[in-house]
Amino acid sequence: MVLTITLLGGESTGKSTLAHALQNHLNHTVGLAAVRVPEHLRTWCETKGRAPHSHEQAERAHTQTRLINQASQQPGVRVVIADTTALMVAAYSELYFNDTSLYPVALAQQRHYSLSLLMGLDLPWVADGLFRDSPAVREATDTVLRRELQAAGIGFQTVYGQGDARLHQALRAIGPLLGESLVPTDRSLSEGRVAWNCEKCSDPACERRLFSQLLQRQTTPETPA
């Protein structure tokens, strides 16, 4: 069985960086055959030198889905890491064109993927000189994604942290799907002191607060008894 791990999130939330890190870790550290599917929308924009018009969005979403499906059919592949899905294109269609028509198909496809990882908003927003708009657009995208995933009953995990911390959060979510731990168990998590995401309400402010508490526990030495 091929696992399909999808990365969702607005601009400048670290999707591509995490996708590369996951592929490298699974291939070279864990020894699993993992392939990465880049974000078709960004590649298209870079090639064309512009963002798609409203009537071009559906094809961008369809192509992203097709590339993910093709990757999963490669011989020997165990894990597909998708740097966004059609759901991201649907979200942008709503935000930029007030068009919600792409959601039904995108959500139906998203439901079939093994895991949806939503990027936390703890990374600084960085302009790329091309297509990124603003931190406000990033937050609006996060809100839309959470709304649609929750309304469709699609479970997701939010990942926070920078560098290895973000990678380890993602690996903790992927591990149970493979039936093994991919990173050393963090003691504060195993003892149940702090959850790394808000599984009840998926509220971003709550998640950031919990993650901050986790980092504080990890960096503050315990007082000897």
CA 68 to chain centre: 14
Higher pLDDT, 179 or 75: 75
Tokens coding 55: 């009537």
Choices 2.40.30.30, 2.60.40.10, 3.40.50.620, 3.40.50.300: CATH for 3-190 = 3.40.50.300
Q: Is the pLDDT of residue 192 over 80?
A: no
CA pair distance 200, 186, nearest whole angstrom? 21
Which amino acid is present at 187?
R
* b/e map 215-225, b = 16+ CB within 10 Å: eeeeeeeeeee
Split at pLDDT 50, 70, 90, the class of 134 is: confident
* b/e map 131-153, b = 16+ CB within 10 Å: eebeeebbebbbebbbebbeeee
Q: Is the pLDDT of residue 187 over 50?
A: no
Which amino acid is present at 164?
D
Mean pLDDT of the chain: 84
Q: Is the pLDDT of residue 91 over 70?
A: yes
Tokens coding 207: 């998640």
Q: Kindly report, residue by residue over 6-41, the tens digit of the pLDDT.
A: 999 988 888 999 999 999 999 999 999 999 999 998
All structural domains of the chain with their residue ranges? 3-190
